[in-house]
Structure 1
């Protein structure tokens, strides 16, 4: 898990959800006894298939009794206020019923009903009214468009699913999804031993969100690992803050974010009406706050299950063990391709293996114990234990290429016995489509077999990488940023380059010596003050790409070249943009040679201000070699940002080349972050491209700056 060096500043959430997931009283509004109806299934799941010990109430406008319990025509008629109300009513009645719940003083309302935000603008207006009702009454709303909630560790089901009574395997995983089907998919991994303690499927999230349940799981004693699938994120800073809160409490969050492609984003919009956000930004933020991002459901299940076995340190090396030489070789290849490292056995381990296994067995990692263990399972137990005990082994990957019925059943039982004797996780890979006795033994032994070498290796990779992550206590949401990255509402203003540089310089961002000149004499005076050679650039908030209109002259070495350069710029810009008045030029000292990088800030619609770093100039568009971080940045985070993209090798010095001034670059990134933080939501876009990074000890300098704001800036004239 990594060891935090100091406590983060995240704080507990504003609402306790314990009475939602384990209440003393529940009302089902829309209860029914019509076979196959949602109301009947909801009643059966609570009364027949749950161990609910609280007080149930049924509300029906047409029935006097259901399941032997009296029915009431309205929640207002109940003899007490239920802590939770389950709304199994048509969309047209949902707002009326919610108002009645609010009047009664209901604490939590679970709205199963669909037909709201996912249907368009009218549905979104209805959701806004739902949110208002809940907010004014102090009633938390779960849903709508939700299959409900189930607390499997307590065996309580608030849902209409016909599978609830089948899909019950308690465990240490807290699952939070927005979609019901993929959440059910995770639950049904119980067939290979995955246990879920509580599943929340939050639907359209008019109020309670996945982030609320991540916070709840972070404090829940019966949950140790958090898994989530999301289609959209309603409040980016709140979600990131919840993930840090969980990390602070030693609970990893494993996430599958769908809607990453254009196709997926359109599907998300039609399903829940969620804003999916930019995939690259989502992934960057996830890495920053310690979320383990996965690519599909197999990865989500396999990785979450592995985290329940043991917490990684990030230093784990892998041992491959099996009874098939081909299977072991294939697995070793996958380990190498994933960038993982095979362990090197000690002499003691090699001796134990040599004494236990036949002479023709391969005892160096990977270990091929040969088919002898099929007839002599005791040698498999002893040799596997020797591998697991080796001091260089952090995890064992054990491929099963095929099923031999009772023979592999014996091996599976032996592996489970070894796992009970060692803390080293043994990750088994069941490759065969025949799920025989060996598979059953592995499942019952708690080994949660994965179904392919690729899946096993991917889970290991995610697990070990998360072990290298440390709780980055410097990050916190920018306090003045609106949830969801909403714009400040002010008019968008594009600043001139000299204005932008002057503002940034006040926050420690290094810029060249410069001055603005309208005439040739003024330009020469500035050039002689800052020192030759100089560059001239047209000054205009309406011209961003200056070179496209002939607005730049470089390498001017004396007064004559400065005068001529200014006239060339005036003529070129006037010809290219006759609609733009000529306001003069920025005269700047030419920077020494170095490496050009890009530093940019944009406002993501989900998470707010995000910094992008990579190669500068046109190379950033050609190679797309960039890294991103949610703002604000600490110096440690800024250094990690610099070191992430491939171009970091250039800054370190390649093939004997001089190292660049990375320390000064880190200071510049922190200065930019500070500028954005101080100015809250006013900064819409900021791009420094290029930033010239000079050799070590000589600093950095921002050669160009584009700044777009939508509100007043601190210190602006």
Structure 2
């Protein structure tokens, strides 16, 4: 199912419509009308309806076998049972592609799962690819072809460089109708329940198409993580931006997405981490999806660190834009002397000629001022983009302003981004749309799009697109049974065996043994309860720190036993782990591994100890992680200043923490299909030169007992 050559789906030589109808309100009737009346399709069209000899004024055929040729594509508009039987025959005859409008294939947990299984067998046995089921079809706007039943197809025909792949049809059509403000969309595939073809397949296909410059993906769920990763990586390596809006960030959203498309959603945080690492530009809403994609379709920033100019005719609007730009961390350009001279010569003395530019009402008297000053700003060597917010619609004045923007944009070496802030959409708005300068509807939305544009350009220039996720080269992972838990002592033994530094520790079965171990390790020590059913030792009073003497240790032994028996009276205590106490003054971090059902094993680092649940300050990556990526993970954290030494605090051993992250990554790669989770929390990070190592460890996975056996504790071993 990995073939992304979809050219005979997008532009088939011939097509058959199964369930063709004369009823203009039926699915089959609308599909026929879109294809025959509103498309410019030049290939062969065969209408199939066993009950009629004539449909839409053309000959109708009783079944697929009676057609004079085997079509590249069948469009299916019949009920599920009939659709399955027909597609079985199509697959046997050699039809290459099918668009399946029909629902009733077990989506949302409903009936019809057996039909879905039969369709999968068709794909596997014949190689026929299926778009759908439960989808509105495919629209090849650049060639004006519609394999869809949507009554809106005839109105949404503005071709352009944006490729669109969505799972849902309603939101996909919503994006298509951004054509009304000037966005050109070349191809839209709505994948529905993704029984076979997925959004990822269309990302891969469109990445190789010259008429598509940017790809938009609207995702309710991702069924196949590796397939998505391959497609996104392929697009990134070609230099084709992918802009994605992923639904399902809340519990409500996840449930709604699953019921709609029957897709897995995965963890939103992990999806976002994977997107960032693969260069996928993730956005937060539909408007931002279109705004960002259209800006990227106009090209990438012309500088490594782009700077922005603001040009408008309202002081308050200029201040509003400058504030939004500053809050987003974007830099305003400083104009060169020639630019400032042109502005000074053409604008009144009371105008603002530094960045942002406020022309004032002087342009009402002489509109040609805009032509002369705006092009000067666009051509300034420090400027990568010009933001032109328009706070209100002044009728003829605004229309003339827009004509200047369009003229200057055609001569400018950088993009001009018009922002139409008024609810009154006069002729000026329509002019912008018609000229291919889609107006963004607020300064905030415009700045968000610009920030994404800058970030993607930086990502491309930094050369990160060659990263190869380990998941793509690893053997297929199949869960056969529930994972088991390896407790702290055995987990630490396994980690130490893999070259990760671990504090010296031993398990004591009596107070006397504990004192003996402590005398070898040297006080102060830590005492922790050991029990098969005790994972969160602190929660049951099973940890005592800073024990400085035999007396302290004996008291701690008694307290731990009393606390645990009080909290968990049925739990068996196997012993007490005695461990050398880490030096005081260390910073507590965490390093973890977790297996996402879609994206596989992910490594996490962040602020540790009890604070992880409160602040949730973490950074995530796919495997493997090298030193550079480990350093980048730490710099993403809000707590990073604590590592660098803020307000008189000592600088921590960042290098040791980075090396530890790399070692954990190497450990995870080595045991990729054995690990479900690993929690190293806290990880002690000392001052510069003191190192970084885990103080606690829990590993969850498969086959752990066998792996741990060679490392079983022997008396006196630490």
TM range (shorter): over 0.9
| Counterpart among 312, 322, 343 of residue 353 in structure 1 | 343
| Contact 2:4 2:202 (C-alpha < 8 Å) held by counterparts | no
1:341 alignment counterpart: 331
Alignment of 1:45-84 (within 5 A): 45-84=34-73
Residues 576 and 269 of structure 1: is their aligned pair in 2 closer, same or farther, counting only changes over 3 Å? Answer: closer
Give the TM-score, by structure 2 length: 0.94
2:200 alignment counterpart: 211
Query: What SS does the corresponding residue of 1:420 show, helix, strand or coil?
Result: helix
Q: Is residue 316 of structure 2 the alignment partner of residue 326 of structure 1?
A: yes
Residues 221 and 257 of structure 1: is their aligned pair in 2 closer, same or farther, counting only changes over 3 Å? Answer: same
| Counterpart among 466, 471, 474 of residue 473 in structure 1 | 466
- CA–CA separation in structure 1 for the residues paired with 2:404 and 2:695: 66
Residues 713 and 339 of structure 1: is their aligned pair in 2 closer, same or farther, counting only changes over 3 Å? Answer: farther
| Contact 1:617 1:690 (C-alpha < 8 Å) held by counterparts | yes
Query: What SS does the corresponding residue of 2:153 show, helix, strand or coil?
Result: coil
Alignment of 1:13-412 (within 5 A): 14-312=3-301, 313=303, 315-412=305-402
- CA–CA separation in structure 2 for the residues paired with 1:285 and 1:314: 24
| Contact 1:409 1:440 (C-alpha < 8 Å) held by counterparts | no
Residues 523 and 74 of structure 1: is their aligned pair in 2 closer, same or farther, counting only changes over 3 Å? Answer: same
Alignment of 1:516-531 (within 5 A): 516-531=507-522
CA deviations 1:58-109 (Å, max 9, x no partner) are 1111111224432221112222221111111112322112211112111111
Q: Is residue 557 of structure 2 the alignment partner of residue 582 of structure 1?
A: no
Displacement of 1:620: 1.2
Displacement of 1:571: 4.5
2:611 alignment counterpart: 619
- CA–CA separation in structure 1 for the residues paired with 2:673 and 2:493: 19
Residues 582 and 101 of structure 1: is their aligned pair in 2 closer, same or farther, counting only changes over 3 Å? Answer: same
Residues 263 and 570 of structure 1: is their aligned pair in 2 closer, same or farther, counting only changes over 3 Å? Answer: closer
2:715 alignment counterpart: none
Query: What SS does the corresponding residue of 1:701 show, helix, strand or coil?
Result: strand
Residues 539 and 205 of structure 1: is their aligned pair in 2 closer, same or farther, counting only changes over 3 Å? Answer: same
More divergent stretch after superposition (402-411 vs 385-394): 402-411
Alignment of 1:395-544 (within 5 A): 395-469=385-459, 470=462, 471-479=464-472, 488-544=479-535
- CA–CA separation in structure 2 for the residues paired with 1:574 and 1:242: 54
| Contact 1:491 1:711 (C-alpha < 8 Å) held by counterparts | no
Query: What SS does the corresponding residue of 1:716 show, helix, strand or coil?
Result: helix
More divergent stretch after superposition (519-528 vs 83-92): 519-528
- CA–CA separation in structure 2 for the residues paired with 1:707 and 1:80: 60
- CA–CA separation in structure 2 for the residues paired with 1:487 and 1:574: 39
- CA–CA separation in structure 2 for the residues paired with 1:95 and 1:138: 15
- CA–CA separation in structure 2 for the residues paired with 1:160 and 1:283: 34
More divergent stretch after superposition (346-355 vs 403-412): 403-412
2:681 alignment counterpart: 689
CA deviations 1:628-647 (Å, max 9, x no partner) are 22333222222211111111
Residues 355 and 123 of structure 1: is their aligned pair in 2 closer, same or farther, counting only changes over 3 Å? Answer: same
- CA–CA separation in structure 2 for the residues paired with 1:550 and 1:406: 76
CA deviations 1:512-549 (Å, max 9, x no partner) are 11122223443334333333221121222310111233
Residues 482 and 141 of structure 1: is their aligned pair in 2 closer, same or farther, counting only changes over 3 Å? Answer: farther
1:9 alignment counterpart: none
- CA–CA separation in structure 2 for the residues paired with 1:587 and 1:487: 38
| Counterpart among 692, 702, 707 of residue 700 in structure 1 | 692
Q: Is residue 526 of structure 2 the alignment partner of residue 546 of structure 1?
A: no
- CA–CA separation in structure 1 for the residues paired with 2:64 and 2:364: 64
- CA–CA separation in structure 2 for the residues paired with 1:403 and 1:38: 42
Displacement of 1:505: 2.2
2:716 alignment counterpart: none
Residues 574 and 441 of structure 1: is their aligned pair in 2 closer, same or farther, counting only changes over 3 Å? Answer: closer
- CA–CA separation in structure 2 for the residues paired with 1:343 and 1:145: 50
- CA–CA separation in structure 1 for the residues paired with 2:33 and 2:475: 43
Residues 487 and 153 of structure 1: is their aligned pair in 2 closer, same or farther, counting only changes over 3 Å? Answer: same
- CA–CA separation in structure 2 for the residues paired with 1:334 and 1:241: 36
| Counterpart among 623, 626, 635 of residue 643 in structure 1 | 635
Q: Compare relative contact order (CA 8 Å, sep 6+) and give the higher one, 1 or 2.
A: 1
Displacement of 1:683: 1.4
Query: What SS does the corresponding residue of 1:189 show, helix, strand or coil?
Result: helix
| Contact 1:320 1:331 (C-alpha < 8 Å) held by counterparts | yes
- CA–CA separation in structure 1 for the residues paired with 2:413 and 2:706: 56
- CA–CA separation in structure 2 for the residues paired with 1:480 and 1:394: 39
Displacement of 1:403: 2.1
Residues 326 and 216 of structure 1: is their aligned pair in 2 closer, same or farther, counting only changes over 3 Å? Answer: same
1:604 alignment counterpart: 596
| Contact 2:602 2:620 (C-alpha < 8 Å) held by counterparts | yes
Counting matched residue pairs gives 704
Displacement of 1:497: 0.6
Runs of at least 5 residues in structure 2 that lack an aligned partner in the other structure: 710-718
Runs of at least 5 residues in structure 1 that lack an aligned partner in the other structure: 1-11
| Contact 1:488 1:711 (C-alpha < 8 Å) held by counterparts | no
| Contact 1:375 1:407 (C-alpha < 8 Å) held by counterparts | no
Give the TM-score, by structure 1 length: 0.94
- CA–CA separation in structure 2 for the residues paired with 1:410 and 1:283: 43
More divergent stretch after superposition (51-60 vs 149-158): 51-60
More divergent stretch after superposition (555-564 vs 266-275): 555-564
